[in-house]
Amino acid sequence: MASSNQGCVPRAAHPSVQALATAGRKAPNKPSKGLINNKGENNCFLNVVIQSLWHLDTFRLKFDLWKDHKHTSEEEGGRCVHCALKNIWTFYHHSSTQLIPPHSLRKTLHLLFQEEDRFQIGSLDDAAEALDAVLESLHKLNLGDSDDSCIAHNVFGIKMSSFVSCRKCGKSSEPLTSNRFIEYVYISTLRELAIKRPNLPFETLLKISTQEFRGCPEPDEQVACTDILNPVTRQLMHIPEVLALGLVWPTSNPSPEEIISTLRIVQMQIELQNLFEFHPSLENSRTPFVLRGMICYYGKHYDAYYYCSVRHSWLVFDDATVKAVGSTWADVVNRCRLGHYHPSVLFYERKDMLSASRILSSVPPRNPQPEPVKLVELPPAATVTQPVLQVAPSVQEIPKPVIPESVSQSQPEPEAEPQTSTPKLAGYSLVQHSKKPRVVSNIPAGYIVLP
């Protein structure tokens, strides 16, 4: 979806640590719940988005704190993403049911995107695009305490300043600001690079894979340098609390080998300053991010994975079904291999925000032992092939870092140099809002040169 989010200035407006702790007390150790996907509803793409928003602590706790509001008409209320999500939150927080209906959000997106014929009831859609649409819709509601506070941009906002300096004539373009919720990367480029440079850490592979190149910024074509492409400098201006990484696959049905080799590159913890150049104002803002979960896809179906520290296991959320996968990332990788599921969105959460939201962990838990697993019978309407595995307290802790063997911890190496013989590109815009992979979409295929 084309974002019109230039107006939003995400602040470092984190709720206070105390506020997060208080909110956290309102959401103690809930059992993990499934979401309804009746036959023909095709809700799975939205269900994984809802599970992700709920299991990302910083979003869930902030959403709990976000102020409620009134609507002037029923029609206005029916188009409000905040109220639709709040309705689902109520089921998570207060209902005894293990199966939550996602239909309030499904209907709202249906109404909001009817003209564009996207997210229509009964149709399967793209999960990353649905996440972007939900966040953009929350942004447009502008329900923050001040004009420039917005939960979507404060948690997920990737605000960048971009410019090009010509290496031939030295002319620089005016810095342009862009705002997006998801950083996209082409998997084929990433994997090709990982094979050739196996010692590079994940963030550096991402950084090189997403490097854009532009021609001379001189607007006068008579004067502009020819036969040159210059790397675009992108400076991060706001550190998100959750980094959503969209993975763009060359095919909808990659082989198990391709899935495994990709998942093995993924690191449990990343440093954002290895992925983005920071704006000078952020220099002291270094903080690690930890992998909290992911959305996967196979054969017109989505599922999602999050780690549960109480059960010491990764869980898979497959519509109504919630199942334990295993205690390590390798278990997740193996499940994806067997089911041919490939990752579509990875979610990294800021470690210091996780610490803040978990101040309440100093309060002794009432029941330190994981609750026994119970099998729950489902209502007949739900399309599930197996009983829900009720897993006790929800995902509350970060996974322990497990660095895949294939990834070494060597220092980042210099980025690949572009080929100057590549033809100059036609017109370009540094401001990118599209949900579609923004990466080098107008660069000749195979342009990024692997050393």
Cβ at position 145, least distance to Zn ion in Å: 13
Q: Does 433 bind Zn ion (CB under 5 A)?
A: no
Q: Does 13 bind Zn ion (CB under 5 A)?
A: no
Please select the residue that binds Zn ion; options are 80, 105, 190, 206, rule is CB under 5 A.
80
CB nearer to Zn ion: pick between 80 and 308: 80
- The values of phi and psi at residue 374, to 5°, are -120, 140
Q: Does 225 bind Zn ion (CB under 5 A)?
A: yes
Q: Does 425 bind Zn ion (CB under 5 A)?
A: no
Q: Please list every residue from 133 through 152 that binds Zn ion, using CB under 5 A.
A: 139, 150, 152
CB nearer to Zn ion: pick between 8 and 315: 8
Cβ at position 278, least distance to Zn ion in Å: 21
Please select the residue that binds Zn ion; options are 33, 103, 106, 153, rule is CB under 5 A.
153
CB nearer to Zn ion: pick between 150 and 346: 150
With beta carbons less than 8 A apart as the criterion, state whether 273 and 294 touch. Answer: no
How many chain residues are in contact with Zn ion, going by CB under 5 A? 13
Cβ at position 220, least distance to Zn ion in Å: 11
Binding segment for Zn ion (CB under 5 A), chosen from 165-173, 304-312, 360-368, 441-449, is: 165-173
CB nearer to Zn ion: pick between 216 and 407: 216
Report the candidate in 28, 62, 55 with the shortest Cα–Cα distance to residue 317.
Answer: 55
Q: Does 88 bind Zn ion (CB under 5 A)?
A: no
Q: Does 216 bind Zn ion (CB under 5 A)?
A: yes
CB nearer to Zn ion: pick between 206 and 216: 216
Q: Does 8 bind Zn ion (CB under 5 A)?
A: yes
What does the binding site for Zn ion look like in residue numbers (CB under 5 A)?
8, 80, 82-83, 139, 150, 152-153, 166, 168-169, 216, 225
